[in-house]
Amino acid sequence: MDMGFTARIEELKRQWPGNIALQCFDGQEYAALPQAARQRLAKCLASGVENPDSQMGCYACQPSDYDALKPFFSRVLARYHKVPEHARHVNDWDLSHIDGLPAGGLLDLAALGLPPLSMRVRAGRNLKDFPLPGAMDRTMRVQLEQRMMAAFEGLIADPAYGGRYHSLTPGNPCFIDERAYDELVAAHIMFKNMDQDRYLLAAGIAADWPHGRGCYVSADRAFIIWVGEEDHLRIMCMQRGTVLNAVFDRLKSALERVGALPGLQFAVSEDYGFVTSCPTNLGTGMRASVHMPLPNLTRDGTDAKARAIAGPLGLSVRGIGGEHTPIGADGTVDISPSARFCITEAEIIAALYQGIARLKSEEDKAAANHPKSEEN
Ligand code: ADP
Ligand code: DAR
């Protein structure tokens, strides 16, 4: 049995207290596992061991990993999501179950004094009959893409979702060249080059890039499905406007429509909800975001003040290009609730609206403290 692995983890544990997976690894528990389970757990930890600066430090590699390796993942989920170790997730899109919302549950940013902004809600989903992206080989990745391309035929024929698939797989009939790819990334439609992400590379999730990767885009570019990124699917609705319900309600319908397509069955755990590669996304797989201009809170050119305010509000701040990217030159940042697990979809979108209201108030205070006369 590989004592070296345990010794290496224990050493890294001492050096990297912020790496949740390392901190939740129990050497004695690991040693008592059958060999196959030890190998399965070690694969989940690969990214966090190779990148000890990770915050989460692990990814599931099989849809059943969360249940099969429950003692470890229960600790990881409890520590990251700040929930009890055996908390069970419940999904619920019904805003009428949320107290304190505006009349009729209308989440209108205009009522907060904000102009139309770019709004996006995405949900990670994985098919139950494939390994998760961290354990797929190139053949499986292309098979998944082929399964999705067949399913997309049902969307292409539907006026509410009609569009086309853009493939990055060489030789695929829907293949797009680098110029077209770059245009879709710049439009925030396609995902970034995965083989630039050391966390995803170490997890095996970015392997075989760009084979089996692509995205379906509706004609109005407001409904998008990524294929083969960190999860098998990232299903999202995105549009410029002020009413958060517009993207939230459209995504709910879209998930029901996609989930009913032939050949598609999402991986769902009774305890953990929708299964995702990263434990940070487990349960809802949902990130609801708004690109919000905060020119006063980012006056120093960084998102430090915005993060200091957003963090205690349960909000994450990302750059204008998404995770691991800089803020916009005009001070626009990507704001989204951090929680995904043991929170319902309705609570997430409500938290986004209420968080934006609080951030707007702080931005207005910062503006008042910086009179126009100091503009030059
Ligand atoms: P994910 O949201 O799937 O976790 P990222 O944070 O990397 O992934 O974002 C992926 C892409 O979506 C990036 O191009 C990012 O700019 C874009 N994006 C996220 N939120 C919004 C938004 N509210 N409006 C426009 N684009 C967005
Ligand atoms: N850098 C990894 C990922 C954390 C969450 N982001 C995802 N899943 N895209 C870490 O463990 O910190």
Domain range list for the chain: 2-81
- Which regions in the chain score pLDDT beneath 70? 1-3, 371-376
Q: Contact, 250 vs 241, CB < 8 A? A: no
With a 6 Å cutoff on the Cβ, whether 340 touches ligand 1 is no
Architecture of 2-81 per CATH? Orthogonal Bundle (1.10)
Task: Specify the pLDDT at position 371.
Answer: 67
Ligand 1 center–CA 319 separation, angstroms: 9
In total, the chain counts a number of residues equal to 376
Handedness of CA 308, 310, 316, 321 (dihedral sign): negative
Among the listed residues 222, 254, 227, 216, the one whose alpha carbon sits nearest the alpha carbon of residue 118: 222
Please provide the distance, in angstroms rounded to a whole number, between the alpha carbons at the two ends of the chain: 66
What number does the ligand 1 atom closest to the CA of 325 have? 7
pLDDT of residue 374: 53
Helix H or strand E encompassing 181: helix 178-186
Compute, in angstroms, the gap from residue 298 CA to the centroid of ligand 1.
19
Which residues are CB-contacts of 14 (< 8 A; sequence separation ≥ 6)? none
Identify the bridge partners of residue 124 per DSSP, sorted by sequence position. Answer: 234
Sign of CA dihedral 188, 193, 199, 205: positive
pLDDT at 324: 85
Residue to probe by mutation, ligand 2, list 280, 338, 341, most atoms within 8 Å of CB? 280
Taking every pair of C-alpha atoms in the chain, what is the biggest distance, in angstroms?
Answer: 70
- Among the bound ligands, the one closest to the CA of 187: 1
Q: Backbone dihedral region of 82: left (phi > 0), alpha (psi from -120 to 50 degrees) or beta?
A: left
Asked if 63 contacts 132 with a C-beta cutoff of 8 angstroms, the reply is yes
CA 57 to CA 72: how far, in whole Å?
Answer: 12
Residue 188 CB–ligand 1 contact under 6 Å:
yes
Q: Pairing state of beta strands 332-337 and 286-293?
A: antiparallel
- What are the distances in angstroms from CA 263 to CA 157, 266, 284? 17, 10, 22
In the three-class reduction of DSSP (H, G, I as helix; E, B as strand; rest coil), residue 271 is classed as coil
Helical packing angle, 35-50 and 3-15, nearest 10°: 30
What is the β-pairing status of strands 214-218 and 286-293? Answer: unpaired
Residue 270 burial class via C-beta count within 10 angstroms: exposed 0-12, middle 13-18, buried 19 and up: exposed
Pocket test for ligand 2, best of 73, 318, 323 (most atoms within 8 A of CB): 323
Judge if the beta carbon of residue 318 lies within 6 A of ligand 1: yes
Report whether residue 122 contacts ligand 1, using a CB cutoff of 6 Å. yes
Tell whether ligand 1 has an atom less than 6 A from the beta carbon of residue 319. no
